[in-house]
Chain A
Amino acid sequence: MKFVLTAVMTSLLAVASQAETLKMAVTTSFYNSGLSEMLLPAIKADLDLDVELIVVGTGQALRLGEAGDVDAILVHARAAEDRFLAAGYGTHRREIMYNDFVFVGPSSDPAEVANATSAVEALQAIASNQAPFVSRGDDSGTHKMEMALWADSGMAAEGAWYRAAGSGMGATLNVASGMNAYTFTDRASWLNFGNKGELGMLYAGDPALFNQYAYIPVNPVRWPHVRHDLALALEGWLTGETANHLINGYALNGEQLFTFNAQP
């Protein structure tokens, strides 16, 4: 029995003590794009730093930063980020890259979203046709953007046709694919999604659909245990030349997913 206990305790300790690691909360849309699989090995090679990603919606990512459970966050919801900084949870905000949001839906396009001339018009077409629409419904950056667009459209996002999945980007796309419904997603997640079914990308290109990702280190004054030194090292790397090449060079089916726009 003593042996067993010792074995358990050593295995617990062995997993608790690791090399230099940084915990970063990122959004599901960023993770599902597959870009992190390009960036993390390069970060490890250049900085000898293990970045552990906690993949959640932007709402939860900000909460993790508030509670000091991560060292930095990479999110995309400007208004929420500004509130986070104003409350003193983060030290500063650094823009890293952007992509854009798109509308996907059944290829037959019964609501004629493809003919829309703006994002708001696309939503109006869906709502007035009462075409099935799946929303993230999880307080993520994508969800916040969708809600802002609904507010601009003057339409009520409710009724039997409006389904809030309450899930991450991939799970929401699965629901949309299964119901052959319209949904709102980011370009990277869509291109990387493996279960497109009858769905196609129907509308993109409105400047209102611009999707900026920003990096925020968690405030070490508030939480002395956070690895602010590592967070700053990572920021330097993410805004540097290597990241620039990797991010701009990341393409799927010949289509570039993200555009690097960090200011040096």
Chain B
Amino acid sequence: MSDYSDGFWAAWKLIITLDPDLYEIIFLSLQVTISAVIIASIIGLPMGAWLAVNRFKFRRYAIAVLNALMGLPPVVVGLFVYMALSRAGPLGGFGLLFSPAAMIIAQVIIITPLIASISHQTIRDLWAEYHDLLISMNATRTQRIKALLWDGKRALLTATLAGFGRAIGEVGAIMIVGGNIEHATRVLTTAIALETGKGNFAFAMGLGLVLIVLAVMINLLIHIVGKTERASTW
């Protein structure tokens, strides 16, 4: 079985020959996933903090539901988004089905609970530490949430990166709502599924390696830019 070594070769050949199709696919993968991560963070991070700071009747249930939603099956999310965005569906008028926007919507739904849940856990621990201080300063709710999000920003990066990891490797939902259209909605994961279907295992593996390297590079980059995981800023 030489498909393994062929896969490495295929990956190298694609990268060093600057294959334009590959770069288009990589660019779209990043555009979709990064857009989804930004939107999901804007929703999820404050939502997690709000749940940590506020006490209300159904708080426990809300948190339990949120944690359960972390495991949302992407293919089900894909199906729901598909039905909603289809011309025959309630949001069909926007004509978004089979567009990158549809893929972003699906990914936001998949990763927002994940980001919110990790954010909630992080902020809860921090809140225990800051509770007396912020109360004695007579800080308002919004001020408390802002202070906690700011001081927990390094830990919250983990939440964002977890969302990125889930979104960049996701295939079930974006295959359904994006349609894997060449030059329009084809991303790395759907291209891998397609090439596997064609029996082009070496090429599929090449794309897989590119995807893994890309995910590692993005994570490293964010750590370097954010100056995390260094002795002085533990």
Contacts and interface: CB of A to CB of B under 8 A. Distances in A.
A235 interface: no
Interface string A147-188: 000000000000000000001111101100100000000000
B99 A15 contact: yes
B31 A11 contact: yes
A193 B38 contact: no
A195 B195 CA distance: 11
Interface in B1-48: 31, 35, 38-39, 42
Interface stretch (B113-121, B129-137, B196-204): B196-204
B100 A194 contact: no
B97 A193 contact: no
Interface residues of B, number: 31
B87 interface: yes
B181 A16 contact: no
Interface string A99-112: 00000000000000
Interface of A: 1, 4-5, 8, 11-12, 15-16, 18, 21, 23, 28, 32, 40, 50, 52-55, 66-69, 167-171, 173-174, 177, 192-196, 223, 225
A5 B196 CA distance: 37
Contact of B183 (A1, A50, A170): A50
B112 interface: no
Given A21-B184, A54-B98, 17 more contacts: A4-B38, A11-B35, A12-B35, A12-B101, A16-B96, A16-B99, A23-B98, A50-B184, A53-B182, A69-B87, A170-B199, A174-B196, A177-B199, A193-B199, A194-B198, A194-B199, A194-B201
B179 interface: yes
Contacts of B199: 170, 173-174, 177, 193-196
Nearest to B182: A53
Interface of B: 31, 35, 38-39, 42, 86-89, 92, 95-101, 104, 179-184, 194, 196-201
Contacts of B38: 4, 8
A170 B86 contact: no
A52 B181 contact: yes
Contacts of A50: 183-184
A223 to B, nearest CB: 6
B179 A32 contact: no
B33 to A, nearest CB: 12
B95 A225 contact: yes
A54 B99 contact: no
B198 A193 contact: yes
A194 B197 CA distance: 9
B198 A67 contact: no
B213 to A, nearest CB: 24
Contacts of A193: 198-199
B197 A67 contact: no
Nearest to A28: B197
Contacts of B184: 18, 21, 50, 52
A15 B100 CA distance: 7
Contact of A69 (B97, B182, B183, B198): B97
Contacts of A174: 196-197, 199
B98 to A, nearest CB: 6
B197 A171 contact: yes
A196 B101 CA distance: 38
